[in-house]
Amino acid sequence: MNRPKKLISLCEQEGEHLWICLGDQSEYEDFGDDFYALADYLCNYQIEEIDRWVERGFESGNFSGHNYVSLYWGDRYAEFISELSKEEKKELEKLLEG
């Protein structure tokens, strides 16, 4: 999936990564730019729909409030670069539905 570049930095030159953390009790996982692998990962944890998008992630089922699912574009060290675009959010929702 091609993604427009918003920032020019060393991290951008090396590529942005999709980072996810399921609530407070898990570790951050790096999915590169693979939305399909990310959707499979979420389905493995019975996350099949997104209830509500929040800053830097979303709420779904038991993952709500301060225990939400963190999901964003970051550098290779998981430092935040940007949130997913509206198009990327729609694509992920579509993948989870399918």
- If pLDDT is split at 50, 70 and 90, which confidence band does 10 have? very low
Structure pTM? Answer: 0.82
The rounded distance, in Å, linking the Cα atoms of 81 and 96 is: 24
**Exposed, middle or buried: residue 15 (CB in 10 Å: 0-12, 13-18, 19+)?**
exposed
The total number of residues shown for the chain amounts to 98
Domain boundaries of the chain, sorted by first residue: 11-97
Of the listed ranges 1-5, 18-22, 40-44, 77-81, the least confidently predicted one is: 1-5
Of the listed ranges 2-6, 78-82, 90-94, the least confidently predicted one is: 2-6
Q: What is the pLDDT of residues 34-62, one digit of tens each?
A: 999 999 999 999 999 999 999 999 999 99
